Amino acid sequence: MERHLSEQEIIRRENLNKIIEMGINPFPNETFEISHSAKEIIENFKEGSEDFGSVQLAGRLMSQRVMGKASFAEIQDSSGRIQIYVNRDEICPGENKTLYNQIFKKNLDLGDIIGIKGHVFITQTGTISIHVKALVLLSKSVKPLPVVKTDAEGKVHDGVSDPEFKYRQRYVDLTVNPEVRSTFIKRTKMINAMRKFMTDRGYLEVETPILQSIYGGAAARPFKTHHNALDTAFYLRIANELYLKRLIVGGFDGVFEFAKDFRNEGMSRFHNPEFTMMELYVAYKDYNWMMDLMEEMIEYVAQEIHGTTKVKVGDNIISFKRPWKRFTMFEAIEHYTGIDISNMDEAELRTTAKSLKIHVDDTMGKGKLIDEIFGEQCEHHLIQPTFITDYPVEMSPLAKKHRTKEGLVERFEVICNAKEICNAFTELNDPIDQRKRFEDQLELGKRGDEEAMQLDEDYLRALEYGMPPTAGIGIGIDRLAMIMTNAESIQDVLFFPQMKPEKNKD
RNA sequence: GAUCGCUUAGCUCAGCUGGUAGAGCAACGCCCUUUUAAGGCGUGGGUCCUGGGUUCGAGCCCCAGAGCGAUCACCA
């Protein structure tokens, strides 16, 4: 098949061929030993010290300033960039100057991956650099990378900013925009910190099925697939809640999983069809205990990532320092609207919602109305992490009824930067009540609610054997990562966000 | 799903009331040769997202479509 190549791509292929003709393998197999990273050298080199007398490092050639028999260039490794100084007669000590005159000056291109050996010194202008004694090509780049330069005022020129380019070709985005790399490193640090926090407390990290014949644990439309050998429909999980609780039935005191979940719904700045949720279930605890744990864990996570509990997000500074504010849902609504809805019936709630200019329709029940009022009137005010507790029972078919408050369940969410970042309950462990809640969901399903839960007989069977009182939580890892990295879109915290398939232009 | 916006060189972007395509960086060549976004001179590079239409003439106007984005709806 004919491929259209740009002028620059053709030139690079010609350079590749010239290198091959000179008997050099542009894609060698051998290990290249690396003694230091660019960052280590820049952070630790002291003028006049004998340290770094001999270093080897490898990376991409990112700029090249050739001046006859001496040149400066920059290489970028996984830690950052460092300047190198290449002198013709030092890398070509004999009569043959081909390596410098031909290969280094002509046939190497920006983006090529090279290995160098030399010693560290400081130039007249005060830049820590590597004086190169030997240079080897490790991999040729035949497609030009966008060249990003930062000028003296710190202004960035020609950074790749087209979102489609960034997300489809994340490998280029990562190479060219250093802050993208640091976002993803923070994401991993965050997950590692959470894992350590929970493992240190003795909770067991587990894996549960992604292909489920009955999907459950959340209200959402699933992706459906088919197993050929069994000739059976399967769903990609929308949550793993019911499986983790089966493990609590089985006798584990604490289990957690970082789970990829899948929901067949709209995409937005805050929604990707596949996303990561961390769910944790701990036996013999309730939601009050879980609130304390959540605060402690996230405060710890912020400290691990940023070295402080204060995190800048957009124009706000968010403080994760304990304790966080706690509101019941009714208190929050009264606080932001001045209206006490705690004793209202459905008709009064509907009137109240209308008076607040909230779009209502006849299918909305009590729980939905309360949720809408909260969502419209309160959520956007909640920038600092805030616990919202005690939700209407209709919205929470897996949560235990409140110990004292009629019509409510023991549930909390944390709202932070105006978005929900977790959802937790005192888990419903009464199999009789759970069956009734599932049946109510089936009714909703019959009335056309596509997100109503399915009745899971096996889960009920597990509860019938007896599940200890349990507290459970699900934390939206992508949402939390957005806050911890000051990202505006979920796509910025996913290496490969979901996109429509690229059309083949050839 | 609805509305609005964007799509021009490898990258970032200009392009007027419709007159046949521009800059910076990158590339190529020469000069300079310890530079700091190195500099100077020169050269090449375009399916102006795609397909139709209007027009003597379309990057620009009209229609249809694609991709991306924003807002809304949906998503507790």
* pLDDT tens digits, one per residue of A336-360: 999 999 888 888 988 888 888 888 7
Q: Are residues A202 and A147 in the same domain?
A: no
Q: Which residue has the higher pLDDT, A323 or A52?
A: A323
Q: Is A235 helix (H, G, I), strand (E, B) or coil?
A: strand
- Contact status, residue A130 vs residue A118, Cβ threshold 8 Å: yes
Task: Pick out residues 242-281 of chain A having their CB under 7 A from any atom of nucleic acid strand B.
Answer: 263, 265-266, 268-271
Q: Are residues A12 and A105 in the same domain?
A: yes
User: Does A98 map to a domain?
Assistant: yes
Q: What is the domain count for chain A?
A: 2
pLDDT at A154: 64
User: Does A378 map to a domain?
Assistant: no
pLDDT at A66: 79
Is strand B in 7 Å reach of the CB of A166?
A: no
Interatomic distance A159 CA / B25 C1' (Å):
10
Supply the CATH number for residue A14's domain: 2.40.50.140
Interatomic distance A165 CA / B14 C1' (Å):
21
Is strand B in 7 Å reach of the CB of A163?
A: yes
Provide the positions of strand B that have an atom within 7 A of a protein CB: 1, 9-13, 24-29, 32-38, 44-45, 47, 66-76
Q: Residues of A446-468 as b/e, b for ≥16 C-beta within 10 angstroms? A: eeeeeebbbbbeebeebbeeebe
pLDDT of A53 > 90? The answer is: no
- Residues A295-302: contacts with CB within 8 Å, 24+ apart? A295/A320, A295/A322, A295/A323, A295/A324, A295/A385, A296/A197, A296/A322, A297/A194, A297/A197, A297/A198, A298/A385, A298/A480, A300/A193, A300/A197, A301/A190, A301/A193, A301/A194, A301/A197, A301/A480, A301/A484, A302/A484
User: Does A361 map to a domain?
Assistant: no
Q: Which residue has the higher pLDDT, A192 or A265?
A: A192
Q: Are residues A213 and A75 in the same domain?
A: no
Angstrom distance (rounded) from CA A450 to CA A266: 14
At A50, is the pLDDT very low, low, confident or very high (cuts 50, 70, 90)? Answer: low
> Which neighbouring-strand residues pair with A489?
none
Task: Pick out residues 44-73 of chain A having their CB under 7 A from any atom of nucleic acid strand B.
Answer: 63-70, 72
At A329, is the pLDDT very low, low, confident or very high (cuts 50, 70, 90)? Answer: very high
At A409, is the pLDDT very low, low, confident or very high (cuts 50, 70, 90)? Answer: very high
pLDDT of A1 > 60? The answer is: no
Q: Are residues A70 and A140 in the same domain?
A: yes
pLDDT at A130: 92
CB-facing half-sphere around the CA of A444: CA atoms within 13 A = 21
User: Does A164 map to a domain?
Assistant: no
Q: Are residues A484 and A407 in the same domain?
A: yes
- Residues A279, A284, A289, A295, Cα dihedral to 10°: -30
Q: Which residue has the higher pLDDT, A445 or A136?
A: A136
Q: Which of A166-180, A275-289, A394-408 is modeled with the greatest confidence?
A: A275-289
Angstrom distance (rounded) from CA A369 to CA A356: 12
- Contact status, residue A61 vs residue A75, Cβ threshold 8 Å: yes
Q: Are residues A85 and A201 in the same domain?
A: no
User: Does A410 map to a domain?
Assistant: yes
No. of H helices and E strands in chain A?
A: 15, 20
Strands A80-87 vs A254-262: parallel, antiparallel or unpaired: unpaired
Is strand B in 7 Å reach of the CB of A17?
A: no
Q: Residue A151: in which H helix or E strand, if any?
A: none
pLDDT at A155: 65
- Contact status, residue A45 vs residue A52, Cβ threshold 8 Å: yes
Interatomic distance A154 CA / B24 C1' (Å):
17
Could you give the ipTM of this predicted complex?
0.86
SS (H, E, C) A156-174: EECCCCCHHHHHHCHHHHH
At A105, is the pLDDT very low, low, confident or very high (cuts 50, 70, 90)? Answer: confident
Q: Are residues A396 and A479 in the same domain?
A: yes
Angstrom distance (rounded) from CA A388 to CA A149: 46
pLDDT (average), residues A217-245: 93
User: Does A329 map to a domain?
Assistant: no
Give helix A366-377 / helix A346-355 axis angle, nearest 10°.
Answer: 30
Interatomic distance A131 CA / B64 C1' (Å):
61
At A153, is the pLDDT very low, low, confident or very high (cuts 50, 70, 90)? Answer: low
Is strand B in 7 Å reach of the CB of A307?
A: no
DSSP classification of residue A58: E
Among A470, A449, A268, A454, CA closest to A367 = A449
Interatomic distance A104 CA / B39 C1' (Å):
21
Interatomic distance A144 CA / B42 C1' (Å):
23
Interatomic distance A164 CA / B12 C1' (Å):
15
Q: Are residues A184 and A117 in the same domain?
A: no
Interatomic distance A157 CA / B24 C1' (Å):
9
Task: Pick out residues 461-500 of chain A having their CB under 7 A from any atom of nucleic acid strand B.
Answer: 488-489, 491, 499-500
pLDDT of A266 > 90? The answer is: no
Q: Are residues A200 and A135 in the same domain?
A: no
Domain of residue A420 covers: 179-262+275-324+384-490
Among A19, A243, A286, CA closest to A140 = A19
pLDDT of A505 > 60? The answer is: no
At A3, is the pLDDT very low, low, confident or very high (cuts 50, 70, 90)? Answer: low
Q: Which residue has the higher pLDDT, A504 or A167?
A: A167
Angstrom distance (rounded) from CA A468 to CA A464: 11
Angstrom distance (rounded) from CA A55 to CA A73: 16
Q: Which nucleotide is nearest to A371 (CA to C1')?
A: B76
At A151, is the pLDDT very low, low, confident or very high (cuts 50, 70, 90)? Answer: low
User: Does A367 map to a domain?
Assistant: no
Supply the CATH number for residue A388's domain: 3.30.930.10
Strands A211-212 vs A55-67: parallel, antiparallel or unpaired: unpaired
Among A450, A471, A378, A467, CA closest to A420 = A378
Among A112, A97, A95, CA closest to A27 = A112
At A500, is the pLDDT very low, low, confident or very high (cuts 50, 70, 90)? Answer: confident
Interatomic distance A172 CA / B68 C1' (Å):
18
Q: Are residues A210 and A291 in the same domain?
A: yes
User: Does A369 map to a domain?
Assistant: no
pLDDT at A506: 36
pLDDT (average), residues A330-338: 93
Interatomic distance A164 CA / B7 C1' (Å):
11
Q: Are residues A104 and A201 in the same domain?
A: no
CA distances (Å), origin A224, targets A213, A227, A242, A447 = 10, 10, 19, 21
Angstrom distance (rounded) from CA A472 to CA A127: 54
Is strand B in 7 Å reach of the CB of A371?
A: yes
First to last CA, chain A: 8
pLDDT (average), residues A156-179: 85
Q: Which nucleotide is nearest to A368 (CA to C1')?
A: B76
pLDDT of A213 > 90? The answer is: yes
- Contact status, residue A313 vs residue A417, Cβ threshold 8 Å: yes
Interatomic distance A452 CA / B72 C1' (Å):
24
Report helix, strand and coil shares of chain A as percent, to nearest 5: 35, 25, 40
pLDDT at A383: 93
Task: Pick out residues 113-132 of chain A having their CB under 7 A from any atom of nucleic acid strand B.
Answer: 123-127, 129
Q: Residue A430: in which H helix or E strand, if any?
A: none
Is strand B in 7 Å reach of the CB of A228?
A: no
Is strand B in 7 Å reach of the CB of A109?
A: yes
Q: Are residues A316 and A204 in the same domain?
A: yes
